[in-house]
Amino acid sequence: MKITIAINGEGRGHFSRARAIAEIVGKSHDITFRAPGHLADELSELFPDNDIRRIPYFSFAQRGFRIDYRKTISSNARLFLEAPAIHRKLADELLSEGCGMVLSDFEPFTSRAARIAGIPVLQLNHPGIVSRTADLSPAGLAAKIVAIYMMAGAKKTIICSFFDGDVGPIIRRSLRDRKVARGDYFVVYQKSLYREMLAPVLGRIGEGMFRVFPDSRECYEDALAGCAGLVAPAGHQSISEALALGKPAFVIPVKGQYEQELNARRLRESGFGDYAYIDGLESGLPRFISDITRFETAIAKWKDADDGKAKGRWLCRDDTLRAVEIVERFIASCEWDRGRRMDALSAPLLASLVP
């Protein structure tokens, strides 16, 4: 079947999940990617035989270590108004390509276009977890409204999450194939914005304890597989990759980014790691490092538990293959539905030809 995988451009998690699914599903199906321009070159390198189509995306505006909601709204307003025309254009493209199904990771334009074209959509993402959170605060309600908009048009929705998810972590092949060991260093994945604040804290703790990324001289996957724990922004994918490898995580959420703050709170509740805002690093990070054995024990205990009740709401295993199985079942149902529709359309014609 011809499948379109549509990827949201805000954050790396959408890209990583789509990549992990495509690496497997692409062996038996013809995949076209639709993604923002800043992801297109990397997709082309990873999937040189697949078509990459560029699409716009809604983005957050940040002021320092907080989300700037006024600027976020104003910068996305024009795109929101242009969305209906974009949907119609994309719908025509999907039909002309013979697309039979869309797999979307929180990408709203292709999903709506597919609905216009009558093409089934499977939403597989993490941010939709906010719709399952019992939070009636203004921030919680706003996050739910955004999630509903971003996921509209789906025939089926699967939430990938280490807490309350339908499936747990989805991780790319380059991580799944790594040999896991327990080293005496911590991997730090930092945004450029955080570098100035992080560097002094890491220096006071001991620079030799950390391997800081991005770093073109070192392999992130090897470093993560061999570390004692991860220090990173509070995006779900970073947390998931660490937990799937049995590594505790310490995360730094952006204030006002509801999903990141939710990820951080749930990470602390799980016992698999901890968090602090940027202004709390000085005390929070050393405390995480000193408690690392407690977090490691909690992850190991969860993974060793055979009883579903003992595992509870947390999901920290590598669930990539189970996610792919769900995707493949959805694809099969689309093929069956399409065959049934074709039979229904052709039946009157065939009847008229039979004497």
How many C-beta neighbours within 10 Å does residue 107 have? 29
One domain for residues 246 and 155: no
Q: What are phi and psi of 242, to 5 degrees?
A: -65, -50
One domain for residues 302 and 326: no
Q: Note the pLDDT of residue 348.
A: 41
Q: For residue 167, tell me if it sits in a domain.
A: no
Q: Cα–Cα distances in Å, from 216 out to 212, 213, 220, 239? A: 11, 8, 9, 22
Provide the residue range defining the domain that includes 110: 2-159+319-353
One domain for residues 52 and 102: yes
Q: For residue 166, tell me if it sits in a domain.
A: no
Q: For residue 172, tell me if it sits in a domain.
A: no
Q: Note the pLDDT of residue 101.
A: 97
Residue pair 246/180 in contact (Cβ under 8 Å)? The answer is yes
Q: For residue 234, tell me if it sits in a domain.
A: yes
Q: Structurally, how many domains does the chain consist of?
A: 2
Q: For residue 306, tell me if it sits in a domain.
A: yes
One domain for residues 13 and 117: yes
pTM, to two decimals = 0.89
Asked whether residue 306 carries a pLDDT value surpassing 70, the answer given is: no
Asked whether residue 309 carries a pLDDT value surpassing 70, the answer given is: no
pLDDT in tens, 113-157: 999 999 999 999 999 999 998 888 998 999 999 999 999 989 999
One domain for residues 290 and 329: no
User: At 353, is the pLDDT very low, low, confident or very high (cuts 50, 70, 90)?
Assistant: very low
Mean pLDDT of 83-110: 97
Q: For residue 78, tell me if it sits in a domain.
A: yes
One domain for residues 244 and 95: no
pLDDT in tens, 163-206: 999 999 999 999 999 999 999 999 999 877 778 888 999 999 99
One domain for residues 61 and 111: yes
Range of lowest pLDDT (4-18, 69-83, 332-346): 332-346
One domain for residues 298 and 324: no
Q: Note the pLDDT of residue 340.
A: 53
pLDDT in tens, 243-278: 999 999 999 999 889 999 999 999 999 999 999 999
pLDDT, greater one: 337 or 188:
188
Q: How far, in Å, CA of 57 to CA of 15, rounded?
A: 13
User: At 335, is the pLDDT very low, low, confident or very high (cuts 50, 70, 90)?
Assistant: confident
Q: Note the pLDDT of residue 11.
A: 81
SS3 (DSSP) at 30: strand
Residue 306 maps to which CATH number?
3.40.50.2000
Q: How far, in Å, CA of 349 to CA of 345, rounded?
A: 8
Q: Cα–Cα distances in Å, from 223 out to 173, 243, 275? A: 15, 14, 21
One domain for residues 120 and 141: yes
pLDDT in tens, 211-237: 999 999 999 999 999 999 999 999 999
One domain for residues 70 and 17: yes
One domain for residues 288 and 335: no
Q: For residue 171, tell me if it sits in a domain.
A: no
Asked whether residue 74 carries a pLDDT value surpassing 60, the answer given is: yes
Q: For residue 219, tell me if it sits in a domain.
A: yes
One domain for residues 85 and 210: no
